[in-house]
Amino acid sequence: MGRILAITCLVAIALCIPAVGQQFPEAPLYQLLPEDWPYPLIRTCSTPEGICLIPFTVPPGRPCACQRADGSWVDGLCIR
């Protein structure tokens, strides 16, 4: 009985740990992304047109900018 319980616990723990191959895609720096980007970003610049990944050295509250697909830049604010 104790052995079955131990095996059951180990299997339950193994199922809770994510697989090593499950990684989030990394967004390119400054590329404008949609507001509903489903993956986490370390540091985010928010603009009226969307969000983008910026270097983590930029503190929240500072001005920042994201680059649109046409190459133009959109001003924003670092929110996290």
What is the residue extent of each domain of the chain? 2-78
Q: How far apart are CA 50 and CA 33, in angstroms?
A: 6
CA dihedral 74→45→53→33, nearest 10 degrees, is -60
- CA pair distance 41, 7, nearest whole angstrom: 37
Report the pLDDT averaged over residues 57-69: 95
Q: Which two tokens stand for residue 72?
A: 């133009």
Please state, for a pLDDT cut of 90, what percent of the chain lies above it: 52
- pLDDT above 60: residue 21: no
* Residue 35: other Cβ atoms inside 10 A: 9
Of residues 62 and 27, more confidence is placed in 62
pLDDT in tens, 26-59: 889 999 998 788 888 889 999 999 999 999 999 9
